[in-house]
A and B are shown apart, each in its own frame.
Chain A
Amino acid sequence: MRTDRVDASKVEGILRRHPKIAALKKRRTRIVALGPKPSHRGEPDDRQVVAALHDYDAGRSMIALVDVKAKKVVALQEAPAHFQLSADEQRDAEALAAKDPRVRQFVGRRQLNPLTRLFFPRADHESRSHRCAIVFIRPSVTERRYAIVDLSLRRVVDVLTRHGLTGR
């Protein structure tokens, strides 16, 4: 099995059987990054994939090494870092931004033309400990709004002007 084409749902199925993940079944968790294990000298290079999961309720990420052929989790530990937004998360963030009244008023009948990135709110922000996205709203070349989407709360928590984003 080629690990660069592995199905996320298969990996998720393997992960769900692991005791630590099974214990989270009532929590909202999702695979946010999945790829072949980076090869390294002396380590097996095939069959294994690295999956990063985010637990939105607990606000933490985990990283798992999964043997897709043997259908088992080789290693699972808490990730000390934040993985980039998955395509699903970007779509979710953009959909939430598109529904926000402030964004709708700004965009009007024009296209949202969004660009979405992983975002870290300021230390004093209520969503600081949550996984967040910033959606750049670009209905024209010069006009901008920036929707801060809390992916844990599944809502837009701020819509910034350019001054609000840049301080200028």
Chain B
Amino acid sequence: MPSLNRANWRVQYGWSASSGLRLGVCEYQGIRVFHSASVPFVYVNYEGDSSGPFTDQLKSKKSKVEIRDIMFGFDLKVTYDFYGEDYQYEHVWRFHDDGQFGSTVVIQGPGEEIDGHHTYHLPFRYDLDISGASGDSFQKRRADGGWEDVVYEGRQLPTHPWAPDFDWRVIDKSTGRSAAIRARAKDNAELWALRYSPLESWGSWGATGSGAPGSPGSVPAIYDNGQTVQDTDIVVWYIAHVPSMERVTACGPWFRLNAYPRPERDSDEQSGGGHGHNH
């Protein structure tokens, strides 16, 4: 995998067979943040299950990865145009120099009908690695603003889906470092925290269930064995359920790192990227 050093990040990235542009090991300020990240596939179904759902592989006719310097960071941007003009997706992996990062897919559509009767279900998978070992814990935000442990694997919903906040985090309690996770408004999002397993990891290369992601018997529920998500190796699946009525729309989770070394952003030169290129 090629790697890129920019804006306090070191990011590995590369194309996969059917899951588009995947990320490998990513570090912030020289400290591991996640081991891999991907959008395994897109699942599309029609209102009333009129025929049956299908999946879109995320593939491109071109191998080009656009690297864009932006204010306070950079983007990796690709277009998934394998299925032609009517079924196109754009994918942006964004990194900011203060430790924020995220993955956004723009659904161009329109697909096979234009009256808003189909839904796109997009899983975003992050194999987080805050502790650099199997010492991460999953927590959700309490109503009073504090955090509480979530003991077992399973599905979580945003506290206020219409105005989401950083409702979840994966924390290394030994150092206090964490990655907080925010859902995007209108994603109808859900988040699954799972303990890493090889089967789940292998299946992340495009494997899907017959039901929509997040539903019982589908991914990632099939990998939920009721194991603890405390002091272990954690994978999160963020699932966006986007109705086609929200046409030409974007979805995807956002992350913010906490208690990592603070960047020295005391001059304009630091924030613009443009140095330390290694790709």
B166-224 residues with Cβ-Cβ distance < 8 A to A are 196, 198-199, 201-210, 218-219, 222-223
Residue from A75, A83, A84, A165 in contact with B112 in the complex, judged by beta carbons closer than 8 Å: A165
19 new A-B contacts, CB < 8 A, other than A33-B17, A81-B222, A146-B51, are A33-B206, A35-B17, A39-B24, A39-B25, A41-B35, A75-B198, A77-B199, A79-B203, A80-B223, A83-B205, A84-B18, A115-B83, A115-B87, A117-B55, A117-B57, A134-B52, A134-B54, A165-B112, A168-B50
Q: Which among A40, A119, A125, A162 is the interface contact of B54 at CB below 8 angstroms?
A: A119
Q: Which residues of B contact A (CB under 8 A)?
A: 16-18, 24-25, 35-36, 41, 46-57, 83-84, 87, 112-113, 115, 117-118, 127, 129, 132-133, 196, 198-199, 201-210, 218-219, 222-223, 233
Query: Does A52 have its Cβ within 8 Å of any Cβ on chain B?
Result: yes
Chain A residues within CB distance 8 Å of chain B: 33, 35, 37-41, 43, 50, 52, 63, 65, 75, 77, 79-85, 115, 117-122, 125, 134, 144, 146, 148, 160, 162, 164-168
Do B205 and A82 touch (CB < 8 A)? no
B210 near A120 with CB under 8 A, answer yes
**With contact pairs A41-B35, A120-B52, A120-B54 given, residues A167 and B47 touching in the complex (Cβ less than 8 Å):** yes
- CB-CB nearest in chain B for A51: B202
Q: Which residue of A lies closest to B233 (CB)?
A: A41
Q: Check B112 against A38 for contact (C-beta < 8 Å).
A: no
Q: Can you name 19 A-B pairs with beta carbons within 8 Å?
A: A33-B18, A38-B205, A41-B132, A41-B133, A65-B202, A80-B209, A84-B55, A117-B57, A118-B54, A118-B208, A119-B52, A120-B210, A121-B52, A134-B54, A146-B51, A148-B52, A165-B51, A166-B50, A166-B113
Q: How far is the CA of A77 from the CA of B210 in the complex (A)?
A: 19
Quick check: A63 and B16 within 8 Å, CB to CB?
no
**In the bound complex, what is the Cα–Cα distance between A122 and B50 (angstroms)?**
8
* In contact, B48 and A84 (Cβ under 8 angstroms): no
Nearest CB on A from B70, distance (A)? 29
Whether B51 contacts A81 by the Cβ 8 Å rule is no
Cβ of B51 and Cβ of A160 under 8 Å apart?
yes
Task: Give the distance to chain A from B153, nearest Cβ to Cβ, in Å.
Answer: 15
By a CB distance below 8 angstroms, the chain A residues around B118 are 166
B206 touches A144 (CB 8 A): no
Q: How far is the CB of A152 from chain B (nearest CB, A)?
A: 14
Is B210 in contact with A50, judged by CB distance below 8 angstroms?
Answer: no
Q: Is B46 touching A38 in the complex (CB atoms < 8 A)?
A: no
Q: Chain A residues near B24 (CB, 8 Å)?
A: 39
Tell me, rounded to whole Å, the shortest Cβ–Cβ distance linking A159 to chain B: 11
User: Which chain B residues lie closer than 8 Å to A121 at the CB level?
Assistant: 52
On chain A, the residues within 8 Å of B47 by CB distance are 167
Output the least CB separation between A14 and chain B (Å). Answer: 17
User: Measured between alpha carbons, how far is A119 from B54 in the docked complex, in Å?
Assistant: 4
B-chain residues with CB within 8 Å of residue A122 when the two chains form the complex: 49, 51-52
Residues of B within 8 A of A115 (CB): 83-84, 87
CB atoms of A81 and B209 under 8 A apart? yes
Within the complex, the shortest CB–CB distance from B150 to chain A, in Å, comes to 22
**B207 CB to nearest A CB, Å:** 4
